[in-house]
Chains A and B, each alone.
Chain A
Amino acid sequence: MTTPLAVLLVVHVLSGVVAIGMHNVALMHLLKKAPDYLFVSRLAWSALVLLVLSWATSAYYYVSYYGVAVKPRILAGDTPAAHIFFMETKEHIFLILPFLALSIALCTVYLRSHQDDDSLRKSTAFLTLVALAVGAATAASGILVSGAI
């Protein structure tokens, strides 16, 4: 693997993990009765930026390196399911994460000016929980894929 590709992989993983962490902190605040919506909103937008960064870097890595150098090794190894199931699932489910993150960020902007809307707070918390679960599942799939090489 060349150095630029290694850097892309590092950026993909670390930005994704930090984004998942930010959604976790945002959810912890959204579960409070009176969250600091300015803080939650900043977290949500930062998570969106990091997820888009993680998305873009992984896309380049996948197209230019994974398909030709990694995928054949996994398919020829002991656990081809790591690609056939986990990578195939990960690469499709991961597509919805930035859109989930965008929806959460937009909800938090609305909540900043409508702080009494408890129903929206709960719905946003649920959406953030979904994003957190999808993010965690994506990260776990990534580890499984790496372990199958």
Chain B
Amino acid sequence: MTLIELLVIMHVVGTVLGVGAATFAEIYYTRFNSDDIVTDDERKTLATAYTVMRTGLFLLAISGFAFLLYFRLTEHVGILTSPSFWAKMTIVGVLVGNALMLQARIMPLAVGAAVSLTSWYAALVLGVIGKTSATYAEILIYYAVAIVLVGVSLRLIRAYLHAPKKI
């Protein structure tokens, strides 16, 4: 196995863990909070999902910078100035900032959840697409619109789960 294959595997595993954990953290939180009570067991389940998500982010960051080094040492530096690469870096920065603001309780949970879920999927999509003709600003506008749409969708799902059940 070559070094680049190892890095690709590490990057894919990090993305899978992050996207998967972000998805399940949102599903669990929506389910657990449908009765407005989050028990200790439910809290532990959520904490496990967040730990997996952070592990994914760590693997993604380390393998990502290892890729950059590989491109630098092999003089394939064109990617380092591409809009999709910088949009991905920005989105990873948003993920880290969002986690910090949630921890400091200065970010509303509903907004933070939408930002986290959208950011993970946006990073995944940008990674899969690779080169794109869209500019940096265009990618970030799509990203901002996606956050709003995901936020509204999550709000509707939570409202539906909280609605009184018809007997």
Contact = CB atoms under 8 A, between A and B. Distances in A.
Interface of A: 1, 6, 9-10, 13-14, 17-18, 21, 24, 27-28, 31-32, 79, 129, 136, 139-140, 143-144, 146-149
Contact of A14 (B58, B65, B78): B65
Contacts of A79: 81
B77 A28 contact: no
Interface string B54-89: 000010011001101101110101111100000001
Q: Which 7 A-B pairs have the closest CB atoms?
A: A147-B80, A147-B81, A31-B103, A146-B72, A17-B65, A31-B104, A147-B77
A61 to B, nearest CB: 12
Nearest to B62: A17
Contacts of A140: 89
A138 to B, nearest CB: 13
Given A10-B69, A17-B61, A144-B81, 20 more contacts: A9-B69, A9-B72, A13-B68, A13-B69, A14-B65, A14-B66, A18-B62, A28-B100, A31-B100, A31-B103, A140-B89, A143-B68, A143-B89, A146-B68, A146-B80, A147-B78, A147-B80, A148-B77, A149-B72, A149-B75
Contacts of A28: 99-100, 103
B90 to A, nearest CB: 10
Contacts of B68: 13, 143, 146
Say what secondary structure dominates the interface of chain B. Answer: helix
B96 interface: yes
A28 B57 CA distance: 14
Interface in B91-113: 93, 96, 99-100, 103-104
Say what secondary structure dominates the interface of chain A. Answer: helix
B100 A136 contact: no
B158 to A, nearest CB: 26
A27 B99 CA distance: 11
30 contacts: A9-B69, A9-B73, A10-B69, A10-B73, A13-B65, A14-B62, A14-B65, A14-B66, A17-B65, A21-B58, A21-B61, A27-B100, A31-B100, A31-B104, A79-B81, A139-B65, A140-B89, A143-B80, A143-B89, A144-B80, A144-B81, A146-B68, A146-B80, A147-B77, A147-B78, A147-B79, A147-B80, A147-B81, A148-B77, A149-B77
Contacts of A9: 69, 72-73
Contacts of B69: 9-10, 13-14
A29 to B, nearest CB: 9
Nearest to A16: B65
